[in-house]
Amino acid sequence: MSDRERSWLAPPEGVRRHAPATLRNRAAIATMLGDLLPASGRVLEVASGSGEHCAYFAEHFPKLEWHPSDPDPDALASIASWCEGLANVRPPVALDAAAATWPVRHADAILCINMVHISPWTATLGLMAGAGRLLPPGGPLILYGPYREAGLPTAPSNEAFDQSLRARNPGWGLRWFGDVAAAAEAQGLVFDRRVAMPANNLIVAFRRS
């Protein structure tokens, strides 16, 4: 990495954000990533948020190059702070999942944690379209978060979470897994696996056909 590229690793003081849930779920997610990610290559993280996940995973998977992203300038500054000094993390990039074009042309894997339910549906559709464009055949798109599933009861905690999300923004809320899978299939992404995670969350993985 050049000196110019390393300049992003010196953010202003006081910009580091903290998402408490990260401390609770990062180890469990990392365990699953060990089975889903390629041995080497670039992992694009969409909606990196605070940057804590990216920093943790970069340390645990040093053979992979991590590329965090987020549409929020304040989040980009926080990501830079958390990832300071990690040689296998590229500078964070401004990326809106719903946009028709992305500032990234290739990724060997795409990871998206807790975005699908805290964003408009257009962001999920854009995520699927982006994965269809960027991933090579067999490349994984890995999602983490809560979902509604046909034929299965939704946990009371997830129902309450859904109500709180919709109160904040009517376009947010837990998505039906069938709708997400259909959006993925429309972009050439094939369902790989569904894994139950702590706190009524799921890891859902698709692969580029």
In degrees, to the nearest 5, what angle opens at C-alpha 76 toward C-alphas 71 and 80?
155
- The pair of structure tokens assigned to 144 is 């983490």
What integer pLDDT is reported at residue 72 of this predicted model? 97
Each residue's pLDDT, cut to its tens digit, for the chain (209 residues) gives 333 343 444 445 568 999 999 999 999 999 999 999 999 999 999 999 999 999 999 999 999 999 999 999 999 999 999 999 999 999 999 999 999 999 999 999 999 999 999 999 999 999 999 999 999 999 999 999 999 999 999 999 999 999 999 999 999 999 999 999 999 999 999 999 999 999 999 999 999 99
What integer pLDDT is reported at residue 15 of this predicted model? 85
CB of 26 within 8 A of CB of 51? no
CB of 118 within 8 A of CB of 172? yes
What integer pLDDT is reported at residue 104 of this predicted model? 97
3-state helix, strand, coil in the chain (%, to 5): 40, 25, 40
What integer pLDDT is reported at residue 6 of this predicted model? 39
Residue 156's Cβ-count burial label (10 Å; 0-12, 13-18, 19+) is exposed
Indicate the pTM of the whole model.
0.93
Q: Other C-beta atoms within 10 Å of 189: how many? A: 24
- What letter would DSSP give residue 7? G
Q: H or E element: which one contains 94?
A: strand 93-94
- What letter would DSSP give residue 3? H
What integer pLDDT is reported at residue 2 of this predicted model? 39
Q: H or E element: which one contains 134?
A: helix 121-134
Does the CA dihedral 109-36-118-56 come out positive or negative?
negative
Distance between alpha carbon 162 and the CA centroid of its chain, in Å?
Answer: 19
CB of 147 within 8 A of CB of 175? yes
Determine if residue 133 is left, alpha or beta; phi over 0 gives left, psi from -120 to 50 gives alpha, anything else beta.
alpha
Domains delineated in the chain: 20-208 (3.40.50.150)
CA atoms lying within 13 Å on the CB side of residue 97: 28
